[in-house]
Chain A
């Protein structure tokens, strides 16, 4: 028995080495979840098909991880050969047995208390390469931690929290580099994407999302506003190995709600940027919201899809943006192919032939306040959309809601908020104190060709939950009300739901434990794992 046990642990030791090739070929091991979106194309699709439309009613709770933190749980964990690696907010790492939820180890990091984050002390996940886990912290460090023991390998200060910088994004491994970016779009940062040496923590290249003097795009900023122009990175990008391009969505310009101090288009805020992962050089960009005055970060996952476009195979990028429009881009060149609104939109008449919004001037924030659809939380936000080749549908959590946008007087002081007032009506609430907070959400399935809605599942409240579509033809999602639910991926029919009691602000994920499919989601400050009844 003892010899067998030793052999088993040696096998586990070998298996736990996560190479770039394993991440690249993630579909060969669908029981694992090796990078933020499972695969580099960020489709949020799992081939696992043990849980299907006909048996989903037999789901039962297998285990719960209750975090010792009251902060909301925005993270997607990694699952590597029977071990779940999760972040306990704000910056502790835990290693759990995937079959039982029991803890192997915990690494505790207490961030500096003088750390400002706009929207909660959150983290969205980890990266793994070799036998080492990587996590950005809200006080600006990149931590490397041994996946076997939880021991710290190194800690490297990447950005300065006293300047409003923080790290909340799950890093992305591309080849021999760890790629991530800085958050702080409400604190007047100068945004950046960075590539880090996984052995030493040394910065290998940096791409500023706000171009400096002499760089293309710098002319889109008036005066010295570029120095504190925002352009944060807080949701993980995608990667196309054939094109050797990594795609990242860029956050809002600073200050958020007063554009007078930063005249111009404000590149590359609210854009998708396509970077060479070896050098950090920009290949192309597409800006969704030039001169944004509503805080519509383009932090959605770049969903990479290969399918026919006007009769020919084409490498596409599908993007339902926070600004209310759905876009189809050619991801080799950045060419705009199609766009239309997927929720009510009152700030633009539509998109021109190059995808640029035709703005309505009266929709800009004013001192008295201007009501605009979509709301400040956007038509959708950072949580994962999904795409399934079999149904051919693009799925998105949508908000039908508005805010009243006020313009204030932004004053920049280092490390403090730099926003220029704020909107009313941030969160819809079915039991709200004021009528203007009424709004509703829906899960919508869009046709990539037309952007038109094929079906929707309408909700009373809204959803900050991402989506997961499965080989069992199920679309899993959640709601702010606390429901975890399964819809038929073909027609949106409700198949199963359960009330987990806490706000869901995370994306569902799936893995295998003991050879059986599990599906999981975080709700409140806990993570719930479901499997079929034995």
Chain B
């Protein structure tokens, strides 16, 4: 017990007020660039295994969105890192107060860049470009449109501007496996094409060209092929004037129905 006294006293100097008294929040006292860097070093060793090196999440949640379900104040995040979240895989840690604040500073930095990204275009003009190019034939936005391509309702939250630009001009550059296509022929000669939704050793699940959910047993297929290219045409050189920037601005503005309603 003796050896625990000193760390406990040191910790008391920097633990959040809310943690000590149960009310009132406290801002992070350690936010210098050196603190963020120190927090980053700890993060990469201790947190990245679940939250990913870039903070984009894996087993753990995505930390780059700026949204924290278990409390978004600095001292909430401090408590989460220190004590863990009961009933989840998020464990408590044994860091001292300063180290915990440095982790909080680094976690904050992961979402800080999002506000800084600026688009050159006009989102409302971009909506017109989106409609004119027929994007809605394959993509859903807030429940309207087709389903053969990815749902874009929250694409602005999930992708950087650079990634959005690349996806429009060079869609084959980065096709996620859930957007690959399946071409199958059954043993009785029926052709089935569609968007690959899942696959395992014995079966494949897809959304066919008529937007029907189809599950096929591989044992019943005479032919089975996966096309890793995008089924979307490349739009490089297909825009005039500011159309491209407007379209990207529109895509970047898509942050879910709640956000779009608020904007309206």
Q: Answer whether residue B93 sits at the interface, using C-beta atoms and an 8 A cutoff.
A: yes
Q: Does A42 contact B (CB under 8 A)?
A: no
Instruction: Provide the bound-state CA to CA distance between A458 and B84, in Å.
Output: 40
Contact string against B for A residues 121-134, beta-carbon threshold 8 Å, 1 for contact and 0 otherwise: 10000000000000
* Shortest CB distance B225–A (Å): 14
Contact A459 B201 (CB under 8 A): yes
Please determine whether B44 and A421 come into contact, CB atoms closer than 8 angstroms.
yes
Question: Which parts of A390-436 form the interface with B (CB within 8 Å)?
Answer: 406, 408-411, 413-422, 424, 426, 429-435
In the bound complex, residues from chain A placing their C-beta under 8 Å from that of B86 are 113
Chain A residues 458 to 500 lying within 8 A of chain B, measured CB to CB, are 458-461, 479, 481, 483, 497
For the A-B complex with A409-B41, A417-B45, A483-B202 known, give 6 more contacts whose Cβ atoms are closer than 8 Å.
A116-B91, A413-B94, A421-B45, A435-B174, A435-B177, A458-B201
With both beta carbons as reference points, the residue of chain B lying nearest to A424 in the complex is identified as B53
Instruction: Tell me whether A416 and B199 are in contact (CB under 8 A).
Output: no
Instruction: Say yes or no: is B236 at the interface (Cβ < 8 Å to chain A).
Output: no
CB pair B41 A417 closer than 8 Å: no
Which chain A residues in 216-255 approach chain B with CB under 8 Å? 255
Residues of B within 8 A of A431 (CB): 177-178, 196-199
- Bound together, the chains give a CA A12 to CA B178 distance in angstroms of 55
Task: Point out the residues of chain A lying under 8 angstroms from B42, CB to CB.
Answer: 411
Contacts of A116 in B (CB 8 A): 91, 93-94
Considering the complex, which residues of chain A in the window 69-117 have a beta carbon less than 8 Å from any beta carbon of chain B? 113-117
Query: Cβ of B48 and Cβ of A460 under 8 Å apart?
Result: no
Contact of B48 with A414 in the complex, beta carbons under 8 Å: no
Which interface residue of B48, B199, B200 has the most chain A CB atoms within 10 A?
B200
Considering the chains assembled together, what is the distance between the CA atoms of A121 and B201 in angstroms? Answer: 29
Is A419's CB under 8 angstroms from B49's CB? Answer: yes
**Partner pick for B84 among A113, A408, A418, A422, CB 8 A cutoff:** A113
Does chain B have a CB within 8 A of A162? yes
A438 on interface, CB distance cutoff 8 Å: yes
Query: Binding site of A, secondary structure by majority: helix, strand, loop or mixed?
Result: loop
Across the interface, A422 reaches (CB within 8 A) one of B53, B176, B196, B198, namely: B53
A481 CB contacts on chain B under 8 angstroms: 200-201
Residues of A within 8 A of B174 (CB): 435
Could you list some 30 contacts between A and B, CB below 8 A?
A113-B84, A114-B94, A115-B91, A162-B94, A255-B45, A408-B44, A409-B41, A411-B42, A413-B95, A414-B94, A416-B46, A416-B93, A416-B95, A419-B45, A419-B46, A421-B53, A422-B48, A422-B49, A429-B177, A430-B200, A431-B178, A431-B197, A432-B177, A433-B176, A433-B177, A434-B176, A438-B177, A458-B201, A479-B201, A483-B201
Residue in B closest to A115 when the chains form the complex, CB atoms: B91
Residue B264, interface by CB 8 Å: no
Task: Report the Cα distance A255→B58, complex, angstroms.
Answer: 22
In the bound complex, CA of A120 to CA of B197 (Å): 28
Chain A residues closer than 8 Å to B93, beta-carbon distance: 116, 416
Tell me the chain A residues, 348-364 only, with Cβ under 8 Å from chain B.
Answer: none
**Assembly CA distance A460 to B190 (angstroms):** 24
Of B45, B53, B198, B202, the residue contacting A411 (CB under 8 A) is: B45
- The proximity string for B residues 55-95 relative to A, scoring 1 for CB distances below 8 Å and 0 otherwise, is 00010000000000000000000000000101001011111
Which residues of the partner chain A approach B84 to less than 8 Å between Cβ atoms? 113
| Chain B residue at smallest Cβ distance from A114 | B92
Chain B, Cβ-Cβ closest to A164: B94
Across the interface, which residues of A come within 8 angstroms of B92, CB to CB? 113-114
Which interface residue of B44, B48, B197, B201 has the most chain A CB atoms within 10 A?
Answer: B201
Cβ-closest chain A residue relative to B83: A113
By the criterion CB–CB under 8 Å, are A461 and B200 in contact?
yes
